[in-house]
Amino acid sequence: CSVWTVCLLGCFFSSVRLPALPAKIPAATYDAIYAELHRPIQVHLTNGRTISGHSIDVSENQIQVATAKGAGEAIYTFDSREIQAYTIPGDSYKALAVEWIESGETDNAHELIHMLYLQRLKILPFLPPAESHFFIYHVDLTLAAGMPARAIAIAEILKPQIKNPAALRTLEDTILDSYNRLRLYDAARPLAGAWVAQREPYGESALGYYVLGADKLRSEDYRAALELALQPIVFSTPSPPHNLAHCYATAISAALGLRDKAYALTLYSEMQQRALHWPTDDPSFTVYFKKLSRHLVKKQNHLKLTEQRASPSSPHP
């Protein structure tokens, strides 16, 4: 017989509404989802018993489940080794969240995934890795919504349960990107160094080269910044990797720092030919873009003057 402790509390069980993102889902749909997600979970024990209730506390080796009992509630404490599986309501809403993502309804998807995440948060370490893999959507949507600190917190919670190497790389990208957006450069620097050491410059992302290159740029180590930024540029395909525009901005800024105006203008022309836009989300490039703009104006004025001199004079009447 499994060892469990039952404590009767003389109070009614009441669910506490979980903190949520600003509401985006239509009210009727939201209410239906909320009701489903607040149904009891089922804890299936190795001895064949099933306990229905709500998880209220989790430690490394134990989980407590509260279930209604008479006028109050009973709290069951289980050793994690006694638990065979969980049945958690709301699984069907994962497909709806993905559907919303694919149709561009990212605000709705974000709110729904956030609700699913809060429902399962306490017991994620006890669930199959696929549960945590799904919530990588939550990390990406949270960062896209402009909440990098929250994205880091969620990613760090998920990371111990993630086994898939590609999923781990996705989380590592989000953590690095988030620290960089927060301008916590001391935290981002070693992560970017590890990123560059472990990845190839011809992959789907140039994030690490950009972050580390921009860090060198801020310290005015222009040659190192240029060398780092050029690697994904040189190896990039017609379908550019993520953050390639940031690498171009880093390389152009470094060239300007080295007083190589001609090379900076060449790189900017190449950037335009590839339909890449100058990134405005990193203040590291601001002063260099002002310098670049002045050089572009001078170049344009010079070209106009050259064309005027080369054109034949208008014939006199």
Average pLDDT in the 198-217 region? 94
| pLDDT tens per residue, range 141-162 | 999 999 999 999 999 999 999 9
Average pLDDT in the 12-28 region? 56
Tokens of 317: 């009447």
Of the candidates 131, 130, 129, 156, which has an alpha carbon nearest to the alpha carbon of residue 142? 156
| pLDDT tens per residue, range 127-144 | 889 999 999 999 999 999
Tokens of 208: 């690490």
| pLDDT tens per residue, range 256-285 | 999 999 999 999 999 999 999 999 999 999
State the pLDDT at residue 35.
94
| CA–CA dist 30, 180 (Å, integer) | 34
As a whole number, the mean pLDDT across the chain is: 87
State the pLDDT at residue 300.
79
In CATH terms, 188-307 corresponds, of 3.10.450, 2.30.30, 1.25.40, 1.10.3470, to: 1.25.40
State the pLDDT at residue 9.
29
Tokens of 296: 């572009």
CB atoms within 10 A of CB 123: 19
State the pLDDT at residue 64.
84
N-to-C CA span, the chain: 114
State the pLDDT at residue 122.
86
| pLDDT tens per residue, range 166-188 | 999 999 999 999 999 999 999 99
> What percentage of the chain's residues is helix, strand, coil (to nearest 5)?
60, 15, 30
Residue 4 scores a pLDDT above 60: no
Average pLDDT in the 61-89 region? 84
State the pLDDT at residue 315.
53
Q: Which fold would CATH assign to domain 1-89?
A: SH3 type barrels. (2.30.30)
| pLDDT tens per residue, range 105-115 | 999 999 999 99
State the pLDDT at residue 76.
85
Of the candidates 197, 135, 132, 187, which has an alpha carbon nearest to the alpha carbon of residue 161? 132
Give the dihedral of Cα atoms 139, 141, 145, 149; nearest 10 deg: 0
CB atoms within 10 A of CB 160: 11
178 touches 152 (CB < 8 A): yes
* E strand or H helix at 309: helix 286-310
| CA–CA dist 89, 94 (Å, integer) | 11
Percent of the chain residues past pLDDT 70, beyond the cut: 88
Are 1-89 and 188-307 equal in CATH topology?
no
Whose structure tokens read 């306990």?
A: 51
As beta bridge partners, residue 64 has 57, 77
Q: Residue ranges of the domains in the chain?
A: 1-89, 188-307
Of the candidates 82, 89, 91, which has an alpha carbon nearest to the alpha carbon of residue 50? 82
State the pLDDT at residue 65.
84
Residue 36 scores a pLDDT above 90: yes
| pLDDT tens per residue, range 234-247 | 998 888 899 999 99
